[in-house]
């Protein structure tokens, strides 16, 4: 398991490259997202302040394991553009987006 600084540095690069702007880590927010009485996602969301992005002042980022044997690390970075206004709504938006990809 990598240390928190390395993890935050990776997420910072992901946010910067995905959204072509500067990203400064601000805080960690624990999120527990429930769906139909079950845990849909539980983990820490990293909050980044953005510089140089035309629409968003903040982004929310995290990673999770993916693949049949959890062999891949997926990085997720969601801009704070309504309806995304918090770490919780960023997680919801990512879950919806992922579900649409799987159906499509």
| Closest to 12 measured CA to CA, from 28, 25, 2, 1 | 25
pTM: 0.91
48: domain range? Answer: 4-103
**If you average pLDDT over residues 52-74, what whole number do you get?**
93
Separation in Å, CA 38 to CA 1, 16, 33, 84, 101: 27, 33, 9, 22, 21
Bridge partners (DSSP) of residue 21 are none
Q: What is the pLDDT of residues 19-35, one digit of tens each?
A: 999 999 999 999 999 98
Whether the link from the prior residue into 79 is cis, omega within 30° of 0, is no
Q: Phi first, then psi: what are they for 64, rounded to 5°?
A: -150, 155
- Name residue, tokens 């997202």: 33
Provide the number of structural domains found in the chain. 1
């Amino acid at each position: 398991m990598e240390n928190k600084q390395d993890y935050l540095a990776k997420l910072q690069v992901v946010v910067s490259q995905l959204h072509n702007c500067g990203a400064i880590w601000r805080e960690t927010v624990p999120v527990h997202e429930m769906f139909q009485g079950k845990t849909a996602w539980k983990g820490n969301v990293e909050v980044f302040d953005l510089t140089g992005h035309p629409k968003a002042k903040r982004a929310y980022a995290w990673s999770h394991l993916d693949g049949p044997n959890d062999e891949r690390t997926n990085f997720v970075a969601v801009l704070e553009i309504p309806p995304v206004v918090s770490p919780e709504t960023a997680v919801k938006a990512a879950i919806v987006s992922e579900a649409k990809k799987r159906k499509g």
